[in-house]
Structure 1
Amino acid sequence: MGKALENNKEIYRLQGLSCTNCAAKFEKNIREIQTVNDVQLNFGASKLTVIGEATIEQLEEAGAFDGIKVLPENQRVKEEKIPFWKKAENKNTIASLIFLIFGYASMYSLGEDHLATIFIFALSILIGGFDLFKVGLKNLTKLQFDMKTLMTIAIIGAAIIGEWSEGAVVVFLFALSEALESYSMDKARESIRSLMDIAPKTALIRRGNQEMELDVEDIELEDILIIKPGQKLAMDGEVIKGQSSINQAAITGESIPILKTIGDEVFAGTLNEEGSLEVKVTKRVEDTTISKIIYLVEEAQAERAPSQAFVDKFAKYYTPAIMFIALLIAVIPPLFIGGDWSEWIYRGLAVLVVGCPCALVISTPVAIVTAIGNAAKKGVLIKGGIHLEEAGRLKVIAFDKTGTLTKGTPEVTDIKVLKGHEEDELLGISMAIETFSQHPLASAIIRKGEEKGISLNDYKAEDFKSITGKGAKAIVNSNLYYIGSPNLFKEMNHLPTSIEDEIKALQIQGKTVMLVGTDQDIIGMVAVADQVRDSSSKVIQKLLDIGIQKTVMLTGDNQATGQAIAKQVGLSEVKADLLPQDKLETIKSLREQYGKVAMVGDGVNDAPALATATVGIAMGGAGTDTAIETADIALMADDLNKLPYTIQLSRRALRIIKENIIFALGLKLLALILIVPGWLTLWMAIFADMGATLIVVLNSLRLLRVKE
């Protein structure tokens, strides 16, 4: 029984989680439930994982201090969009402001010590600070010193020494700062919420002869989805009927629709533009690409980035230190140098208020949540704050060649006819033999022949035989023909020097040359090359422009092919003739030499190198689970253009996190210095704290504006 309880894992969505301190307290309260073994709270995603057993009532009771609502993960709840000023806590803030204004009016007409003035200010304090005091006083009895405890002590202290107006201003400004922090955090979280709303929750499916509308959770593998023009796809699958352009922007960030025909893969959350489609479901709802993206984005936000770990550690010692300093300031001058108790207690209270670590604690998570959410919308999946920060520090980027810098599909570039044959005839003979071959170069020749309208009915191959590692031979239209590498014909002793020179010239251009001939003569040659992506040279130039020191290509191809492609795209260096383990060693030596190195590959055969690099970046993550799982960052589209954007976003995030930490600490330090000569009033202290929190959040939200 105990073992079953230990393994019981439930995931919940949270509503009303307002601040990082509240999140920590909520988590602590849940841990105190007897039947709970472990709990993980993801503040950025408003998500709770409970290992053990707890009812929703117990969890909501643990979060009652902050009005947190707990919902099962798969329960569909339409979250009400309550306008900012209509929320209960914000109504209290507005009421507190109204009484504050009346209080100041009474103060100027009746005097500061008049009973009516004190009563109005006290009303303002009680209405605006009711929730704050409830938590603060409870914490005080348990000797838990968080932000709300500090504020409660400061406000009660202000009332005791007769600073009613100051106390009312502090309550109002604190309530306002809480409301603005909550609003800003909601803005940052919207990036995830919008991802969750991408795919429809129901779909029209056909089972046997029946058509029915079903919830996505009830759709099974092999069900047939019926997709009409203008509809979004609810599930991942394979097209089995029809053809249409699909806008995949939600998954890959690419706004140009892609034509999908029978046999093509399609993704949940993408938009069918004009044709009707029938799609066979290939993944359950929890395994769809969009579900994986949402899960990974949420987990990424929960993962502590190095700077966040520093802030959390610092804040742990910082709050007790502030309380100790406040106590010393309030007590030492009156006791030892004859200071006025009322004046120095006031200054001690100002230290408590200004010492609130709100801005510091929120400085990193809000920037990371915003950056990762922005990237996900653009089709870049960053799997954690640590990878976001590391990408901003990269010095060297290594690229796999095939499928990354090149298209990965070879094309015929040159056809040269020798001895009295036509070009179409040479291609027809080649096609007939290569029809039986599995080699990638064979498919390039067949595609070229089909483009030129050559029919295989005119060229029939018989007695096909593969010559391992060199080529193949077959009888075509009663004659025996060979097709293969220059070495094959060298062995047959008829490779003239003039032809060898032509072959070398083509090889220097990065082309693979195949000769066609009989056992007596060579009748022609076909050159094939993997075509460089149109975007490659532009992307490499952009990377060098933004300060990447070195771009390296890693390829299993020969040096000549590697050099030709490197020259074409503008790379700094080429490492050729590499096996997968050689790529791994190369990445290790680059890390020793330069420190921070990224590897960009397709995520399948490059897995070891991707894992060894500081940051592993996979191309075309939407099509391969391996890419999403192996890499630290996945470019969901098969598009290198997202790479410079990702690095710039990471650098901007790093800069903003540093600015936030320096600003939050700098402002605190300045305020503490101003307290000693008595220049800092209580309301100025809270204003400084609120201002710092607000500036840190607004500064982080600038990451939403980073463009491609």
Structure 2
Amino acid sequence: MDAKVNFGASKLTVFGSTTIEQLHEAGAFEKLTIFPEKEKPPVAPKEPIWKRFGLLGLSLLFLAAGTIFSENILFAAAILFGGYPLFKIGLKNLIHLDFDMKTLMTIAIIGAAIIGEWSEGAVVVILFAISEVLERYSMDKARNSIRSLMEMAPTEAVVVRNGKEILLKAEDIEVGDLMLVKPGQMIAMDGIIVDGHSSINQAAITGESVPVEKAVNDEVFAGTLNEEGFLKIKVSRLVDDTAIAKIIHLVEEAQAEKAPSQQFVDRFAKYYTPVIMLIAALVAVVPPLLFAASWQEWIYQGLAVLVVGCPCALVISTPVAIVTAIGNAARNGVLIKGGSYLEELGAVKAIAFDKTGTLTKGSPVVTDFINYSGDENLLVIIAALETKSQHPLASAIIRKAAYLESNVVEVTEFTSITGKGIKGVVNGVEYRVGNTKLFESIPSEIDDQISVLQNEGKTVMIVGTASLEILGLIAVADEVRASSRAVMERLRQQGIQHTFMLTGDNKATAASIGRHVGITAVQAELLPEDKLTFIKKLKSQFGSVAMVGDGVNDAPALATATVGIAMGGAGTDTALETADIALMNDDLKKLPFTIKLSRKTLRIIKQNITLSLVVKLAALLLVVPGWLTLWIAIFADMGVTLLVTFNGLRLLRVKE
């Protein structure tokens, strides 16, 4: 049997055969509450304050009494009561020669008692106990950033089966089941609305604060709130495959994964602890042996070095920041799949953007319709022809004409002319829709109009008859996201001066969109392999490069970039699988926020590591004149541990 502990997510994964009761019994000595991952945590009976903090309270009373009456027996009682939880683990570790923080503290406190420093030992015990309480509180606060997501999705829902409404657990609901959701209820499963209309609060998944209108055929996600209407939803994913389940799993994995700075700290701590123990031993024995100094004084100094040397502040300095930042990002609709990507994003020098679906909405719209014929039904006729076409732009024309099946214009003799356009007969007249190759002679004024539209980045289609008379022009373009220009400006303010747009579109269209959004440089007429080559070139030029795409046709480029960022992770499995970071609600404005969070995380990690090492070094230097005391030592260890923890928690306050 084997087990894996995810400290950041407070999660235990056991490989092998066991039961919850056995696990609970194994963790009883630490008062651990263990429950299945898919179930909500049991509501633990609220312990009375005297039971939770009774030992600490007794210890404080005995310390106060010892200070008043100057009796070592009272200080000893304070040490025993306050240090009981510490000694229970520390002595066990000492027997197994496992020299962690609690082992070093146990040695130091017992040593202080042996040399008669009972009052100092009691103070160290109490300060350690208080710091443990505060540290546990702060780490729970960091973990709650993802736990709040886990509690969003209901564990049961009302489902219609065999014509009856029944209440089922989420894990018993199957794909294809019809789920009923009343106003004010949370949606339990991902699915497609088959009946009803409502506004859905998707903040848990996408970070959007404004509810989104949803109607028949729209997708909805587990963990979102149905605010107004009654909905019938056809379940599309099993409970383990829902968007929120995947987000939670990926965030937990990310919080467990060690970032580069954390790997450095772990390697450092591996050698640091034995070195500190050696230094403590040398401090305790060298001055008395070589310089006839006081044994009691220098053993005391050696014990203080042990307390200072506890690497807890250093070890916790990085994970508390990573766990907090990834949790904050998830709550704001950004999925970061590992601490390494969080760190790397803060160092990027250039960002490449796919055009379609990233800088633009990915759905073409008719921007101009110029009717030379005077026929009011011309657009309806064009739409009737386009309903039979497979061209990607046909849907834009149909939407523009508000073409309805109840108002069908009959088309006969329809033909698609490869590379040129389409033609068909309506009411005895043959109409043609296509590019300039479909029409032999175009009047100069119309040709000039076509050029103007093309220079604006639009695709122009000409409408005419069999006699090649031109009746009108239709211009179609992929609509640019309203936020794209503001995002580019924000990135420049953040110091990212190099932004690139990569697209398979023609150069005129690409250049027009590039100018509109304020991109630094444009690369047009690229195949997927060309995008990959260009990303490699950027990496050799700038070192650290991010790529933002939709996660489908951009997969090779996303994988090659230092950090791959996918749009719309909530709705596409491809985005979640391919990218290192996913913007869950398809909102490009989340990119500057993520970079801001990444940079602040890097700053806090550096601050924490520097503070941990500088304070410990300063405390150790106090050994030289013999000024190091257990009081100073406990501040240099526990005090700094609390400082770096609370400093990491500041990342919860980072907003867009």
Q: TM-score scaled by structure 1?
A: 0.90
Q: For 1:44 and 1:235, locate their aligned partners in 2 and report how far apart those are by CA, in whole Å.
A: 26
User: 3-state DSSP class of the match of 2:522?
Assistant: strand
1:500 equivalenced with 2:447 (yes/no): yes
| Equivalent position to 1:438, from 375, 384, 390 | 390
The CA deviation at 1:290 is: 0.6
- Per the alignment, residue 69 of structure 2 pairs with 106
The equivalent of 2:12 in structure 1 is 48
Contact 1:363 1:696 in 2 (8 A): yes
Q: Does the Cα contact within 8 Å between 1:584 and 1:612 map onto a contact in 2? A: yes
Task: Please give the secondary structure, in 2, of the residue aligned with 1:44.
Answer: coil
Q: Work out whether 1:517 is the aligned partner of 2:467.
A: no
Following TM superposition, by how much is the alpha carbon of 1:455 offset from its aligned partner in structure 2, in angstroms? 7.7
Partner AA of 2:533 in structure 1: E
**Distance (whole Å) between structure 2 residues aligned to residue 251 and residue 336 of structure 1:** 67
Q: Which amino acid is the alignment partner of residue 92 of structure 1?
A: L
Q: Which residue in 2 is equivalent to 1:11? A: none
Deviations 1:549-571 (A, max 9, x none): 21110111000000000100100
What whole-Å deviation, never above 9, does each CA across 1:584-614 have from its counterpart, x for those lacking one?
1111111111111111111111111111111
Distance 1:97 1:395, change over 3 A: same
1:222 Cα deviation from its structure 2 partner:
1.4
3-state SS of 1:427 partner: helix
**More displaced 10-residue stretch of structure 1: 339-348 or 98-107:** 98-107
Higher mean displacement: 508-517 or 402-411: 402-411
Per-residue CA deviations over 1:627-658 (Å, capped at 9, x if unaligned) read 11111111110111111000000000011011
Cα separation, 2, equivalents of 1:423 and 1:250: 51
1:480 corresponds to which of 405, 430, 436: 430
Match of 1:25 in 2: none
One-letter amino acid matched to 1:692: V
One of 611, 621, 627 as aligned partner of 1:679 = 627
Q: Aligned partners of 1:244, 1:141: CA distance in 2, in Å?
A: 63
1:32 alignment partner in structure 2: none
Partner of 2:298: 344
Measure, in 2, the Cα distance between the counterparts of 1:577 and 1:544. 26
| Mapping for residues 53-68 of structure 1, pairs under 5 Å | 53-56=17-20, 59-60=23-24, 63=27, 66-68=30-32
Question: CA 1:454–1:502 in 2, change beyond 3 Å: closer, same or farther?
Answer: farther
Q: In the alignment, which residue of structure 2 is the partner of 1:311?
A: 265
Written as runs of structure 1 = structure 2, the 5 A alignment for 1:680-699 is 680-699=628-647
What amino acid is the match of 2:355? K
Matched letter for residue 337 of structure 1: F
Q: Distance in 2 between matches of 1:428 and 1:193?
A: 54
Give how far 1:624 is off.
0.6
1:72 aligns with 2:26: no
Q: 1:141 aligns with which of 95, 101, 109?
A: 95
Correspondence for 2:563 among 615, 630, 638: 615
Q: Does 1:552 align with 2:506?
A: no
Shift of 1:574: 0.4
Matches within 5 A, 1:355-370: 355-370=309-324
Matched with 2:58 is 95
Matched, 1:700 2:648: yes
Does residue 1:279 correspond to 2:233, yes or no? yes
Following the alignment from structure 2 to structure 1, what is the Cα–Cα distance between the partners of residues 51 and 310? 24
Structure 1 segment 209-224 matched on structure 2, within 5 A:
209-224=163-178
How many residues of Structure 1 are paired with residues of Structure 2 in the alignment?
655
Q: How far did 1:665 drift?
A: 0.7
CA contact (8 A) 1:414 1:526 kept: yes
1:191, CA displacement in angstroms? 0.9
CA distance in 2, matches of 1:255, 1:99: 53
Residue 276 (structure 2) aligned to one of 315, 322, 328? 322
CA distance in 2, matches of 1:357, 1:248: 42
Measure, in 2, the Cα distance between the counterparts of 1:542 and 1:626.
28
Deviations 1:398-438 (A, max 9, x none): 111111111111111112233xx226333122112111112
3-state SS, counterpart of residue 675 of structure 1: coil
Task: Specify the code of the residue in structure 1 equivalent to 2:171.
Answer: E
Distance 1:601 1:87 in 2: 56
Q: How does 1:619-658 map to 2 (within 5 A)?
A: 619-658=567-606
1:183 match: 137
Q: 1:169 to 1:244 in 2, by over 3 A?
A: same
Q: Secondary structure at the match of 2:401?
A: helix
Question: Retained in 1: the 8 A contact 2:35–2:42?
Answer: no
1:424–1:440: structure 2 CA closer, same or farther, 3 Å change rule? farther
Deviation per CA, 1:458-486, whole angstroms, max 9, x where unpaired?
x4321111111221000111011110011
CA distance in 1, matches of 2:53, 2:635: 18
Residue of structure 2 in register with 1:24 after alignment:
none
The alpha carbon displacement at 1:118 in A equals: 0.8
Deviates more, 1:63-72 or 1:395-404: 63-72
Work out the CA distance in 2 between the residues paired with 1:254 and 1:664. 38
Q: Mean alpha-carbon deviation: is it higher for 74-83 or for 230-239?
A: 74-83
Alignment of 1:560-575 (within 5 A): 560-575=508-523
Q: Separation in 2 of the partners of 1:227 and 1:74?
A: 21
Letter in 1 for 2:235: V
Unaligned 5+ segments in structure 2 are none
CA distance in structure 2 between the aligned counterparts of 1:91 and 1:367, rounded to whole angstroms: 32
Tell me the equivalent position of 2:415: 465
Match of 1:13 in 2: none
Q: What corresponds to 1:31 in structure 2?
A: none
Counterpart of 1:670 in structure 2 is 618
Instruction: Specify which of 368, 386, 400 is matched with residue 448 of structure 1.
Output: 400
Provide, for residues 671-699 of structure 1, a one-character-per-residue CA deviation record: whole Å limited to 9, x for no partner: 00012212221122112211101110010
CA distance in 1, matches of 2:412, 2:223: 49
CA contact (8 A) 2:39 2:155 kept: no
Q: What displacement does 1:348 show?
A: 0.4
Q: Which residue of 1 aligns with 2:367?
A: 413
SS of the aligned residue for 1:72 comes to: coil
Structure 1 CA distance for aligned equivalents of residues 419 and 13 of structure 2: 55
Find the residue that maps to 2:414 and give its secondary structure.
Answer: strand
Spell out, residue by residue over 1:126-153, the C-alpha distance to the aligned partner (whole angstroms, 9 max, x if none).
0000121122222222222111111111
Moved more, 154-163 or 54-63: 54-63
Distance in 2 separating the partners of 1:242 and 1:59: 46
Residue 154 (structure 2) aligns with: 200
Deviation per CA, 1:162-202, whole angstroms, max 9, x where unpaired?
Answer: 11100100111111111111111111101121011101111
Deviation of the 1:63 alpha carbon = 4.2
Give 1:391 shift.
0.9
Counterpart pick for 1:132 among 83, 86, 90: 86
Q: Distance in 1 between matches of 2:324 and 2:146?
A: 10
Q: Contact 2:40–2:151 at 8 Å: present in 1 too?
A: no
In structure 2, what is the Cα distance between the partners aligned to 1:46 and 1:607? Answer: 33
3-state DSSP class of the match of 2:34?
strand
Partner letter of residue 36 of structure 2?
P
Out of 69-78 and 182-191, give the one that drifted further: 69-78
- CA distance in 2 between counterparts of 1:432 and 1:63 reads 70
Gap runs ≥5 in structure 1:
1-35, 108-116
The answer on whether the counterparts of 2:76 and 2:118 sit within 8 Å (CA) in structure 1 is yes
- Partner Cα distance (2:315, 2:645) in 1: 11
CA contact (8 A) 1:416 1:423 kept: no
Aligned to 1:159: 113
Q: In the alignment, residue 525 of structure 1 is paired with which amino acid?
A: L
Residue 542 of structure 1, aligned match among 490, 503, 507: 490
Partner Cα separation in structure 2 for residue 698 and residue 123 of structure 1: 32
Deviates more, 1:251-260 or 1:626-635: 251-260
